[in-house]
Structure 1
Amino acid sequence: MLQLIDRDRLPGQPAITPAGLSHALRAGEGLESAGCDVLVSADDAVLGAVSYAVPKSDSVGVLLWLHCLEDEQSLAQMLVDHTLTELGRRTVHAYAVPTAMAPAGLPMRNRPGTRRALEACGFSGTDRWRYLHHSLDTLSPRVYAVADLIEHAGGGWQLFLRERGGIRIGEACISAPIGGAAVLEWVTLAPERRRLGHILLEQCLTKLADRGIDHVTTCLHAPDFDNPHYEAALHLHEAAGFTVADQLHTYVRCP
């Protein structure tokens, strides 16, 4: 199973470990775990696996994650059909909840077999996020620092951008790293200082590289009428060295 999951990793995502898989099998906040079922061949080879859950309200079902050979759509379809049978007659959301293995959303480019299987089973997708990746070995750091990095007790960092007088004008939050990879959770700047966003990102990446981080990923909300700042945010991240690795869609199926 670990090999199947590893094949589906996006750039910058750490390899899944037995401990990480165990954590991913636990029910998330507000969820009661319904199960993780494995599809095996006649000779007991693992062909795929799916994890699903039911919220404590028992009103909907959730397909948390599914992994199989992507070039075998029939395998993904068997796992989706099985999940729908187990969850019963209720609305089912797929890839709508982040797990210990990945952010919410099914990668469109990387998971075509699973995408087609969901659609064949009646699921409708919604474009939610852009998954961005930065390999820090391409970094050209600034020679001076204008930001303070504060480490959290449980891991991860908060970075504060300051003016020469010491006034903080920007902030970034970075997750605790796993296997040399970290997630840039969010970036914010004072409205009148948004033109300095590139400096905040550069400082953030430089300080992470100094601490042995090899890869940084982040997710931007997909462009839509409610998100007029998407193009500016994308340009800011691309100028700092991020590239769009995939599009993440969530799915829903009504009974």
Structure 2
Amino acid sequence: MPSATRLALRPCAPADTDAVLSLVNADRLPGQPTATPEMLHEALAGRSPVDGGWWAELDPPATQVAARADGTVVGVASWALRPRDGTGLILWLHCREDPRVADALVAGALTALGPRPVEAFQLATALTRGVEALPRAHREATHAALERAGFRGEPQWRYLLVDLPAPDLPRAARVRTLPEPGDSHARRLEVRRGEAAAEAEAVIGLPVEGAGALWWIGVRPPSRRRGLGRALLGSALDLLASHGAREAFLYVETNTGRGGEDDRTAATALYRSAGFREVDLLHSYVLPAPPPTAGDGLRSAYPSRAAASAATS
């Protein structure tokens, strides 16, 4: 019976590349690119084109696979320590949503990290285009495994997708398209009157596998409530379509500042009225540190990778 099959947890090896990529791509969201060996190499090294500064704060990550007795790799998880505050992070985990494998991988990561506060799915990885948290509806077994381990999850982002072209949207006048400094795969759109400050701006990511990104769109307060945001959105989606995009995705923060500067109610309503549909709600997780007991200490609570390689029944 599958439930009686023994799992072994061991460090990820180069020979596991194909199996790990298969696991990652089994969880790929609509609009996201197929993970490649190059992307996996960056993730294993602890680098990411999004959230790169936060990744730089971490120790080199440890990555572990779960394998059956016959050697078949059925799961993978990666974690790291943030030295500045002693927090552990579960960075990414894939297991084809097998509850038993998810439980084993979460337990293995927590054993390696030791008794400390742990965060999970807080950073975007090199395996996606900016997916910064766990898509709960698509990853219910992983979500449940984290909850069983004591994590508390909170929604952070809405992941929205729209088909292109979007012919019913208006287009903005006086749009200039510029390179985005530091990102050769992005473009900035600006609406200006002469040399004055831009009235509105947007940043797009050029399409990969037919999907483009809308990274940012904003309108300065004096120019709001005139339809400029909607028109600039139409221009941004037009530009993506002209580069071959068949769909576009974006992330919008969940509404935690109702009525204030961080309120995303109007932005969410704009995107939905423009045809964007919600693919999933992305969650991040926190596990508080356990209360200290006699003899506990955090200095030795982050053992070597080998400490997590014991077999799990």
Give the TM-score of the pair, scaled to structure 1.
0.91
Counterpart in the other structure of 2:205: 175
Counterpart in the other structure of 1:224: 256
Shift of the 89–226 alpha-carbon distance from structure 1 to 2, 3 Å rule, reads: farther
In 2, distance between residues paired with 1:2 and 1:54? 24
Q: CA deviation at 1:186?
A: 1.3
- Deviation track 1:170-194 (CA, whole Å, cap 9, x = no partner) reads 0011235433333222111111222
Runs of at least 5 residues in structure 2 that lack an aligned partner in the other structure: 1-19, 47-54, 290-313
Runs of at least 5 residues in structure 1 that lack an aligned partner in the other structure: none
Q: CA deviation at 1:139?
A: 4.7
Shift of the 181–198 alpha-carbon distance from structure 1 to 2, 3 Å rule, reads: same
* Preserved CA contact (<8 Å) 1:171 1:187: yes
- Deviation track 1:198-219 (CA, whole Å, cap 9, x = no partner) reads 0010000101110122332111
* Preserved CA contact (<8 Å) 1:12 1:135: no
The alignment status of 1:159 with 2:189, answered yes or no, reads yes
- Which stretch of structure 1 is more off in the superposition, 88-97 or 190-199? 190-199
- Amino acid corresponding to residue 218 of structure 1 in structure 2: L
Q: CA deviation at 1:225?
A: 3.9
- Amino acid corresponding to residue 43 of structure 2 in structure 1: A
- Greater C-alpha Rg: 2
Give the TM-score of the pair, scaled to structure 2.
0.75
Counterpart in the other structure of 1:210: 242
- Amino acid corresponding to residue 222 of structure 1 in structure 2: T
**Normalized per residue, which structure has more strand?**
1
CA RMSD of superposed structures (Å): 2.1
* Preserved CA contact (<8 Å) 1:181 1:214: yes
In 1, distance between residues paired with 2:171 and 2:217? 22
Counterpart in the other structure of 1:66: 93
Count of residue correspondences:
253
In 2, distance between residues paired with 1:84 and 1:120? 13
Counterpart in the other structure of 1:243: 277
- Which stretch of structure 1 is more off in the superposition, 60-69 or 100-109? 100-109
- Deviation track 1:60-94 (CA, whole Å, cap 9, x = no partner) reads 10000000021x21110100000000011110000
The alignment status of 1:191 with 2:221, answered yes or no, reads yes
Shift of the 144–45 alpha-carbon distance from structure 1 to 2, 3 Å rule, reads: same
Q: CA deviation at 1:54?
A: 0.8
Match of 2:143 among 107, 112, 115: 115
